[in-house]
Amino acid sequence: MYRLTIFTHFAAAHNLVNYQGDCENLHGHNWKVEVTVAARELDKSGLGVDFKVLKRETKQALGLLDHSYLNDLEPFKGLSPSSENIARYLFETLGERLDTDNITVEQVNVWESENACASYRKD
């Protein structure tokens, strides 16, 4: 099994719901996103999947989130737009775009700072 990982980022505002502390107030982050996919086989070029494809699909998935107020977006209606829920949203969205017989989204990490990361993967 081959694993490929890309990094990208987006900026957005949010506030945590039902949280007792400062993060219940409106604030923003410059999130770093790490996407890892698994490929069973390589193509005739020796690639599991082209990094251009991973970057393009991730950029499109982030299009809804970038420079927005996350609490107002449909994927987070009734949810706190935490890093955990953002990671799950991106995992599911990218799975719809990328999963094939050969490629599977394995894990999405969402870093809200250089010291704090939330991950989502299916076990």
What domains, with CATH codes, occur in the chain?
A: 2-120 (3.30.479.10)
Rounded CA separation 26/20 (Å): 13
pTM beyond 0.85: the answer is: yes
Segment 17-39 shows an average pLDDT of: 95
pLDDT at residue number 27: 96
Segment 113-117 shows an average pLDDT of: 95
74 contacts: CB under 8 Å, gap ≥ 6: none
Half-sphere CA count of 29, side-chain side, radius 13 A = 23
Task: For the chain, give the mean pLDDT.
Answer: 96
Rounded CA separation 20/81 (Å): 15
Structure tokens at 50: 């082209």
User: Any idea which residues carry the catalytic annotation?
Assistant: 23, 67, 112
pLDDT at residue number 79: 94
Summarised one tens digit per residue, pLDDT across range 33-48 is: 999 999 999 999 999 9
Summarised one tens digit per residue, pLDDT across range 49-103 is: 999 999 999 999 999 999 999 999 999 999 999 999 999 999 999 999 999 999 9
Segment 9-31 shows an average pLDDT of: 95
Rounded CA separation 30/43 (Å): 35
Structure tokens at 76: 């987070």
pLDDT at residue number 123: 82
